[in-house]
Chain A
Amino acid sequence: MEQHLLIKPHSYYDSVTLMRISQQISALRGVEQAVVVMGTDHNKALLAGVGLLADEASAAQPDDLIVAIQAQDAAALQAALAAVETTLSRSNATSNESGAQPAPRTITAALRQLPDADLAIISVPGPFAKREALQALRSGLHVMLFSDNVALEDEIELKQLARASGLLCMGPDCGTAMLGGAGLCFANVVRRGSIGIVSASGTGAQEVSTLIDRYGGGVSQIIGTGGRDLWPEVGGLMMRAGIELLARDDETETILLISKPPHPDVAAAVLDELRGSGKRGLACFLGYRGDAPAGVELATNLRDAAALAVGQAAMPQDDTALGEVAVALAAQIPATGTRLRGLFSGGTLCDEARLELAQMGLTEQAELIDYGDDQYTVGRPHPMIDFTLRLHKLREAAADPSTAALLLDVVLGHGAHPDPAAALAPALSEIAQPVVVYVCGTDADPQHRSRQVAQLQAAGAVVAESNLEAAGLAGLILKAREATR
């Protein structure tokens, strides 16, 4: 066994790039372990955990790159080190395709190269995010702040500055937006149209926009706000800014708001703003029990929000047809199976499913986890990009005799995994229990939804038409099983 540790001082790479490199190197023949990380305390703890933390690595600084490789023999080690160099230099090259001009390191320098830039996407680690966002806003750029772990008071400061400057500060923790037809961060390729969305939830916006597309409508803009925007402390600053912007947008005829239930005062303010926008107003605050002012329609779930937005009536669940499917699937449940296990990558999709199952009286039997939650993403990419953790948990759940059925979401679009069905299929085909999958996306997405669905079905999954339907179907399977007991 050969072990090697390489420290490259002052060589920062983002965690997604490094995770990709670690995976590529680990997959090489003869490589037992490969960890390519920045020298943060957290990463050093990870290295110690896998027995690869040597003294040199302990002394590394947060902007030092640590390459730790364990290989079966010297040749494999050499090959792995060479591969690390190649992939690192390639990831440098992509950021510098313009020849002699080096990639800018700061917003100030970037603005010299692209002086008419109008938007900044910021996905740097949380503690550094505020400063970048401040610089961007002060330079007159709208901000899409993907970073999480930004303090609430900093969010308020940034959003107040944005408001005062007539700019958007989408986020922190904002994963989805679409402006002028460009999908930002995680976004699906949907038809252009007249429905403008302001959403405190990333996957909520993805679900509604893809369903709008499927129901024949189109989307003008999607403005994300980040999950805390409707907290009383922030007071819906960006949701209100988004409504104002869409009210002035000629392309937009309908304004649709998506969120978890806001604080009543914030809800009142936001809905009031929506009513006064002069456009058709629609809101989906998942789990919200309050009223809407006259002239504003409320949808109780994401599917109905999409349907109402395109002018269709909210659809009652077609329980008869689904019921038949459920009865057939219930037969696959093992004798000991009593629990439904949901493994989500979309937080709002998970919430919506939880609400639906609660309405069916199945709260006790359903254990739904959002693996996109902060506690699962420390030191690793989002589960929409990287299926490692979910695959592990999926196999674990399937091996648990108490598991009756499984429920999964698969989110497509820009920024997501290039071929989720291929990543999931081997695991799915081994699972005995019924697996209900929902694929959030369109055929225009890089992953092509129909092809993904076909692959998943071929691997034995049942694919639902909406997240709501997936949850409903999973619930019905459980109920069908209980009825036969």
Chain B
Amino acid sequence: MSRKTLTRRQFVAATAMSSAALISAPYVRGAYAAGKLSIGFWDHWVPGANKASTDLVNEWAAKEKVEVSIDYITSNNKKLELTVAAEAQAKSGHDILQMPTWWPHAYADQLESVTDIMGPIIKQNGEVNGTTKYLGQAGGKWLAVPATVGSQIKGPCSRIDLMKKHAGIDVQEMYPAGSTPKDENWTTDTFLKAAEACNKAGVPFGIGLGETTDSVDTAGAIFQSFGAELVNAKGDITVKTDAVRQALEFYKKLIAVLPADAASWDDASNNKWLISGRGALILNPPSSWAVAKRDAPQVAEQCWTHGMPAGPKGRFAPFLPYFWGVWAFGKNKEAAKSLLTHLSQPSSIEKFVAASGGYDLPAFANMTKLKTWAEEGPPKGTLYSYPDPHGRQTMSIAASPAPPKIAQQIYSQATLTKLALRYARGETMEQALAWAEGECEGFMRS
């Protein structure tokens, strides 16, 4: 085997030529000059909705020369929450991680402040609602960016025909597409009467009394419409108040006309209830209507999403936001913030809303009148009132305004629905309240 040897003279010449070439060549930026970014997004229910996220991320990555990797993590069986907990423990993981409602507060110490990017985003998109501030801020610092993807209101989705026939309520007239609602008479009393009438007619309202979020969110909004708080904003236990008693009396009457098995309902039960045609109203984002559009078009054509009934203390909509958090131990925080700014642009938000068929809901005041909600159907305009375009409701989260770490316990232990169920199932008011008080005392643990 012949082997060509390199002489000292040849070596010096080659080195000199290489050096000259390197110095004189123009600066060429590598494909991923700005490093890598790993993202954990929530895996969307709506088929095709993840594509909007992927496209927007890729669009940004190409411009910024960042190598991105996206994991879509399901929230089924709390996989997303488990991922957040595991990454927080390991102090390693995705640079950006989508977090459900309470998790920014739960991991506040390990999240990078995003106050610097939230200022310009709010300036552009309008103020965020109070619930988003309550969940996303701590001590004036933004813990995470409100994510349009996955955020939702669980408002009433009524059957136009059944509500008209059995309760004498024209939901389309009450919440007309394209104009201000005429909802002055849509109160908790009207709601109860309608529930009783529909139950009598064999098409009860489908409201869960279980321990999953749909049941808890509904209870939260109803309690708040009576001004009922188990723990107030200062952290004092306020279970034994007239407002809580009023809310319980209302719930007891409501439970009497709900399906007998509502105590075992999970988040899928009310969807099935509506789609099967057995109920006149559920409280849910438009996902059940979207499924009905595919599986039971005759039901979908009669669905109308609208606002919550008002109680003595106001009209509260169960709002369940998601957030995008940046770990303080992340490796590419600047790129993460740049991407989140991109995902919060009005054009990006519009794409998210369109891709999810109107399911995803931005938290910003200027973003509630997008064309998707006005145009979706059948029937056309069915989603117009979903994002509350006329600001008729206060966005709320169950267990607020208790300090978030206490509220999270009340929420995840479903204390509100359990309390209502205990009273409705025969415990005296004082027994039920004493139980809730004991639970709340336990939640004070720091």
The answer to whether A and B come from one shared complex is no
- Listed in ascending order, the chain A residues whose CB lies under 8 Å from chain B are none
Chain B residues near A (Cβ < 8 Å): none
